[in-house]
Chains A and B, each alone.
Chain A
Amino acid sequence: MAEQNNNELSRMDFVTDQTVKWCPGCGDYAILKQTQRVLPELGVPRENFLFVSGIGCSSRFPYYINTYGFHTIHGRAAAIASGAKLANPELSVWIVTGDGDGLSIGGNHTIHLMRRNLDINILLFNNRIYGLTKGQYSPTSELGKVTKSTPMGSLDRPFNPSSLALGSQATFVARTIDRYSKHMQSVIKNAYEHKGTSFVEIYQNCNIFNDGAYEDLTEKEVAANNVLELEHGKPMLFGKNKHLGLHLDWNTPKIVDLDKDKNVSIDDILVHDQTDFVIASILSSFTYDANFPTPIGIIYAVDEPVYENLLDEQIEDAITKKGAGKIEDVLAGPNIWEVK
């Protein structure tokens, strides 16, 4: 990305003249604000940002952020963003999607984008409900969820988005929470810096149809015991006094209390290695599991070849081997004859 004299960019440069029409109190406001805070710091000229979304509450995002934007159709943002990025790899392309848009109707595109590893950042707002259609259960809703479409409770087990991402060969998997402003900024920044597809799941509260879905993670009294903030190379500790830790007993993860359990020391606590697929898989398996804290931060990040670079290399390679294509040659083909 070419650096330009965009030092003067500020949050306000990324605010549009459109009235934001999310419900008052919606978690989306916080995500919009933190994104608008981070973008000026990335050293990218504003005109090189492209935000692509599908359908849903989250997908109105592009209208409120003053960059190039494309509010597309339900589930297809990943496919449209892929074409936009391939056509112009210079762009910093961002997808804003939700648990319905990105995991249900658009699940196929999401997984294929991740395996291809285009340098695109996915912000998936997970509120575990369909908001824009007024409150049906989503593919991340808990089993037995009672909604208008499931008056007797939902019958399908929820997706675990981070495990899905890992299974799709994603090279960057992270999680943050709408109420964690600073944390969200740092995750978004890291997602930008990662070369390849970055999958960022953002836990977002829908205060109208699924209020309190994440209160265990956001309410002051309980949050510390329920949230594990990941830091690469650091032991995985949580709790009010960082007295709780993650210990790997052979291949079984266990929570230990450093204050109470005298047989364990800080050396027994598993150190986070964001390049370790096994650790990432274990951490991701804690999703929606009441016995373990919810990991937030970068779960997994590795460097793999980026699709659009490989495509450009193929083009260069073809030109080196065959010479730059001459249209006259292919129009004529190998077998011509002349009529005089």
Chain B
Amino acid sequence: MAKTKIKHVDHVVIRFAGDSGDGMQLTGTRFTESTAIYGNDLSTLPDYPAEIRAPAGSLAGVSVFQLHFSSKDIHTPGDQPDVLVAMNPAALKGHLDDLAPHGIIIANSDAFNTKNLKLAGYKNNPLDDGSLEQKYELHTINMTELVTEACKSIDISAKDVQRTKNMFALGLLFWMYNRNTDTTIQWLQRKFKNKPAIIEANTRALNAGYNYGNTTEMFTARYTVEKAVLPPGKYRNINGNYAISLGMLAAAKKLGLPLFFGGYPITPASEILHNLASFRNFGVKTFQAEDEIAGVASAIGAAFSGNLACTATSGPGMALKTEALGLAIMAELPLVVINVQRGGPSTGLPTKTEQSDLFQAVMGRNADSPLPVLAPATPGDCFYAAYEASQIAIKYMTPVIILSDGYLANGSEPWSIPKMADLPEIKVEFTKEFNGEDVFLPYKRDKQTLSRPWAIPGIPKLEHRVGGLEKEDETGNVNYEADNHHLMTSLRHQKVANVADDYPPTKIYGADKGDILILTWGSTFGPGRVAAERLHKNKIKASHVHLRYINPLPIDLGGILKKFENVLIPEVNMGQLYAIIRAKYVIDAHGLNVVRGRPIRASMIVNSVNKILGI
């Protein structure tokens, strides 16, 4: 101990990498929980293969959890890890390139056997050949052997003992970063309530890891990352899929409406179905439909009956829901549609993040069929996006698409727990009386919003028919006349355009004019903001605007864009917002398009800005 120095650092990025069966997601989540409770700001990025168990030891089977924690306000899971925990050769092989110069490698040497080395494509054992020590701080630890020793007298299988090696790694990391093991031990006791031997084995492994750091003189330094200065209040750690589920629940509560969710399982959106299904005691009705179409269709039916209706999916599922969205637009029914975007096209990269469904959301339907589209910026913001989408859907009687993505869905951050009373009011009023002369006119619109009345089955005298055929203005009767169709198309268009009247003014980070503006949307908020902060530190005047509202775009955006010499639009797609901005505002813009299944790195944006400015 005496020889170990304590170093203070602002922030650390740890990447846990191991086989799918090694429990890396769990290890990462436990470290995150302790770090959150300790009071650091943090941001996480889980990254796992689409296969449930790819062949053990293979490169394809590596599961990763990256965690960035800091004493400062942070916005991304970090560009480069400072610490790489490699539980086998494949984990090392696949992630070494990302490690920061002089970064720390903690490797489970027991897994570096001939078979695993071969599977990872290593001719020689990289832990032995001296290559790593030149560039990195390497710690090789025989974790499997050590946990076997620690669990000696416990009556469990050798396999169960080996499974505890992730706890060993976690214990060691807890020691390195001065975290205590209490919350994890409590969690083990809850999780394995009826399996005392498993609790004992994991606890011993965790302590063995912690004590290993404490007693060996292998590590020359421990690190402390001070608590972050966050605004006062109560916090929890939250990921995007949970936040979006809570957002729907909160909106339903505020509206006083039952919540209905119809959906079909699809990665990475299924957790929303799972979360809402666990809220039965809130009266939430979840319906696992026979397919994606039935998922959205049942939600449309529930909306017609007067529930707050919602569906969630990912890109391919969204494609299947397209026709039904057209119906919701025509029938003018409120509906929240969550698209947790993933890599594509087709089945693509089911577990990797991408922002490539923006065109699909804004334009991907037959005919002139506008609907509002908004995108959360961070995992915690998913809550507010769901809440606001519900608000827009009800006020304007329209389906609304939320563009989340795989990173937001699975990534997590500390979240200031909102109070229901502080959330904006949302009101709903079902029509109970005739709105015409002795007649109910289902398409007689509110003069300001152009929204139509919502009269639900069960209300006497307001029996009426809606459907996918073109409606006559006001009466809603089927009508194919030329002038009427032009009018109704224009009304639907204008109604959605009116949504922008409710937006707050667009915020500009940095100066409101200058050489360059970084324009981001969705989960690219984090890297965009970090890039702007870094550029400011280097005295480069780059401003940052983040778009929450993709359709309709904010009314003040055009004026803002015109005050900058250059506009850079980084996106995890081939230039979709870029195309829309250029078309709508007739400005030149630069795209930064990286589709690697991960969020864009802040450093890429910084480099791009420098290049554009000729620095």
A residues contacting B by CB (< 8 A) are 16, 18, 45-50, 52, 55, 62-63, 66-73, 76, 78-88, 90-91, 108-109, 112, 311, 314-315, 317-319, 321-325, 327-328, 330-333, 335-340
Is the beta-carbon distance between B290 and A336 smaller than 8 angstroms? no
Report which of A47, A85, A108, A327 forms a contact with B463, defined as CB distance below 8 A.
Answer: A47
Report which of B39, B283, B324, B418 forms a contact with A73, defined as CB distance below 8 A.
Answer: B324
Is the beta-carbon distance between A79 and B234 smaller than 8 angstroms? no
B462 within 8 A of A: yes
| Stretch from B10-18, B464-472, B482-490, B498-506 at the A interface | B464-472
With A69-B465, A87-B301, A108-B290 as given contacts, are A332 and B37 in contact (CB-CB < 8 Å)?
no
**Could you write out 14 A-B pairs with CB less than 8 Å apart?**
A45-B460, A46-B463, A69-B463, A73-B326, A79-B262, A79-B301, A80-B297, A87-B285, A109-B290, A315-B280, A327-B253, A331-B250, A333-B238, A336-B236
Q: How far is the CB of B240 from chain A (nearest CB, A)?
A: 15
Report which of B283, B298, B304, B418 forms a contact with A70, defined as CB distance below 8 A.
Answer: B304
Report which of A62, A80, A314, A332 forms a contact with B298, defined as CB distance below 8 A.
Answer: A80
Q: How far is the CB of B452 from chain A (nearest CB, A)?
A: 15
Report which of B37, B293, B294, B457 forms a contact with A68, defined as CB distance below 8 A.
Answer: B457
| Stretch from B70-78, B151-159, B305-313, B351-359 at the A interface | B305-313
Report which of A50, A63, A336 forms a contact with B234, defined as CB distance below 8 A.
Answer: A336
Q: Give CA–CA (A112, B282) in the complex, Å.
A: 26
Report which of B230, B301, B469 forms a contact with A52, defined as CB distance below 8 A.
Answer: B301
Identify the closest chain A residue to B439 (Cβ). A17
Of the candidates B235, B246, B294, B299, the one having the most CB atoms from chain A within 10 angstroms of its own CB is B294
Q: Give CA–CA (A72, B293) in the complex, Å.
A: 13
With A70-B304, A76-B324, A335-B33 as given contacts, are A87 and B258 in contact (CB-CB < 8 Å)?
yes
On chain A, the residues within 8 Å of B461 by CB distance are 47
Q: Give CA–CA (A322, B282) in the complex, Å.
A: 10
On chain A, the residues within 8 Å of B509 by CB distance are none
Report which of B39, B309, B456, B468 forms a contact with A83, defined as CB distance below 8 A.
Answer: B309
Q: How far is the CB of B292 from chain A (nearest CB, A)?
A: 10
Q: Give CA–CA (A176, B294) in the complex, Å.
A: 28
Report which of A73, A76, A86, A314 forms a contact with B260, defined as CB distance below 8 A.
Answer: A86
Q: How far is the CB of B28 from chain A (nearest CB, A)?
A: 15
Report which of B250, B280, B294 forms a contact with A82, defined as CB distance below 8 A.
Answer: B294
Q: Give CA–CA (A335, B464) in the complex, Å.
A: 49
Q: Give CA–CA (A71, B183) in the complex, Å.
A: 55
B279 within 8 A of A: yes
Of the candidates A45, A69, A70, A108, the one having the most CB atoms from chain B within 10 angstroms of its own CB is A70
Is the beta-carbon distance between A76 and B294 smaller than 8 angstroms? yes
On chain B, the residues within 8 Å of A324 by CB distance are 281-282
Is the beta-carbon distance between B477 and A47 smaller than 8 angstroms? no
Is the beta-carbon distance between A330 and B305 smaller than 8 angstroms? no
On chain B, the residues within 8 Å of A112 by CB distance are 289-290, 294
Q: Give CA–CA (A126, B309) in the complex, Å.
A: 33
Q: How far is the CB of A10 from chain B (nearest CB, A)?
A: 15
Q: How far is the CB of A39 from chain B (nearest CB, A)?
A: 12
With A73-B323, A82-B294 as given contacts, are A91 and B301 in contact (CB-CB < 8 Å)?
no
Is the beta-carbon distance between A335 and B236 smaller than 8 angstroms? yes
Q: Give CA–CA (A62, B353) in the complex, Å.
A: 43
B391 within 8 A of A: no
Identify the closest chain B residue to A322 (Cβ). B281
Known: A62-B465, A69-B466, A91-B458. 14 other contacts (CB 8 A): A62-B467, A69-B465, A70-B331, A70-B465, A71-B466, A71-B469, A83-B309, A109-B294, A112-B289, A325-B279, A325-B281, A330-B279, A333-B238, A340-B232
Q: How far is the CB of B420 from chain A (nearest CB, A)?
A: 6
Q: How far is the CB of A96 from chain B (nearest CB, A)?
A: 12
B residues contacting A by CB (< 8 A) are 33, 36-37, 39, 183, 230-238, 246, 249-250, 253, 258, 260, 262, 279-283, 285, 287, 289-291, 293-294, 297-307, 309, 323-324, 326-327, 331, 417-420, 456-469, 477-478
On chain A, the residues within 8 Å of B237 by CB distance are 335
Is the beta-carbon distance between A84 and B302 smaller than 8 angstroms? yes
Identify the closest chain B residue to A81 (Cβ). B301
On chain B, the residues within 8 Å of A79 by CB distance are 262, 289-290, 293-294, 297-298, 301
With A18-B477, A82-B301, A338-B234 as given contacts, are A48 and B458 in contact (CB-CB < 8 Å)?
yes
On chain B, the residues within 8 Å of A328 by CB distance are 419-420
Report which of B37, B464, B477 forms a contact with A337, defined as CB distance below 8 A.
Answer: B37
Is the beta-carbon distance between A338 and B478 smaller than 8 angstroms? no
Q: How far is the CB of A147 from chain B (nearest CB, A)?
A: 25
Q: Give CA–CA (A141, B468) in the complex, Å.
A: 27
Q: Give CA–CA (A273, B304) in the complex, Å.
A: 39
Is the beta-carbon distance between A332 and B417 smaller than 8 angstroms? yes
Of the candidates B282, B285, B297, B464, the one having the most CB atoms from chain A within 10 angstroms of its own CB is B297
Q: How far is the CB of A93 from chain B (nearest CB, A)?
A: 9
On chain B, the residues within 8 Å of A317 by CB distance are 280
Q: Give CA–CA (A88, B260) in the complex, Å.
A: 11
On chain A, the residues within 8 Å of B459 by CB distance are 47
Is the beta-carbon distance between B457 and A88 smaller than 8 angstroms? yes
Is the beta-carbon distance between A63 and B305 smaller than 8 angstroms? no
Query: Would you list the 4 A-B pairs with minimal beta carbon distance, nearest first?
Result: A83-B301, A71-B467, A83-B298, A325-B282
Report which of B183, B282, B301, B465 forms a contact with A63, defined as CB distance below 8 A.
Answer: B465
Is the beta-carbon distance between A87 and B260 smaller than 8 angstroms? yes
Identify the closest chain A residue to B37 (Cβ). A337
Q: Give CA–CA (A62, B39) in the complex, Å.
A: 59
Q: How far is the CB of A79 from chain B (nearest CB, A)?
A: 4
Identify the closest chain A residue to B461 (Cβ). A47
Identify the closest chain A residue to B475 (Cβ). A17
Q: Give CA–CA (A329, B203) in the complex, Å.
A: 29
On chain A, the residues within 8 Å of B301 by CB distance are 52, 70, 79-87
Report which of B258, B282, B456, B464 forms a contact with A69, defined as CB distance below 8 A.
Answer: B464
On chain B, the residues within 8 Å of A68 by CB distance are 457, 463-465
Identify the closest chain B residue to A62 (Cβ). B465
On chain A, the residues within 8 Å of B468 by CB distance are 55, 71-73
Identify the closest chain A residue to B183 (Cβ). A335
Identify the closest chain B residue to A77 (Cβ). B297
Report which of A62, A90, A315 forms a contact with B281, defined as CB distance below 8 A.
Answer: A315
On chain A, the residues within 8 Å of B280 by CB distance are 314-315, 317-319
Q: Give CA–CA (A47, B236) in the complex, Å.
A: 46
On chain A, the residues within 8 Å of B309 by CB distance are 83, 87
On chain B, the residues within 8 Å of A62 by CB distance are 465, 467
On chain B, the residues within 8 Å of A45 by CB distance are 460
Report which of B279, B305, B466 forms a contact with A88, defined as CB distance below 8 A.
Answer: B305
On chain A, the residues within 8 Å of B300 by CB distance are 72, 80, 83
Identify the closest chain A residue to B462 (Cβ). A47
Q: Give CA–CA (A146, B297) in the complex, Å.
A: 35
Q: Give CA–CA (A189, B419) in the complex, Å.
A: 51
Identify the closest chain B residue to A325 (Cβ). B282
Q: Give CA–CA (A322, B281) in the complex, Å.
A: 7
With A48-B458, A73-B323, A80-B298 as given contacts, are A108 and B331 in contact (CB-CB < 8 Å)?
no
Is the beta-carbon distance between B420 and A327 smaller than 8 angstroms? yes
Q: Give CA–CA (A76, B301) in the complex, Å.
A: 10
On chain A, the residues within 8 Å of B469 by CB distance are 71
Is the beta-carbon distance between B457 and A48 smaller than 8 angstroms? yes
Is the beta-carbon distance between B232 and A339 smaller than 8 angstroms? yes
Q: How far is the CB of B520 from chain A (nearest CB, A)?
A: 27
Is the beta-carbon distance between A66 and B463 smaller than 8 angstroms? yes
With A79-B301, A91-B305 as given contacts, are A70 and B466 in contact (CB-CB < 8 Å)?
yes
Q: Give CA–CA (A333, B275) in the complex, Å.
A: 13
On chain A, the residues within 8 Å of B230 by CB distance are 339
Q: Give CA–CA (A314, B279) in the complex, Å.
A: 11
Q: How far is the CB of A64 from chain B (nearest CB, A)?
A: 9
Is the beta-carbon distance between B37 and A335 smaller than 8 angstroms? yes
Is the beta-carbon distance between B302 and A83 smaller than 8 angstroms? yes
Is the beta-carbon distance between B287 and A86 smaller than 8 angstroms? yes
Q: How far is the CB of B71 from chain A (nearest CB, A)?
A: 13
Q: How far is the CB of B310 from chain A (nearest CB, A)?
A: 11
Q: How far is the CB of A28 from chain B (nearest CB, A)?
A: 16
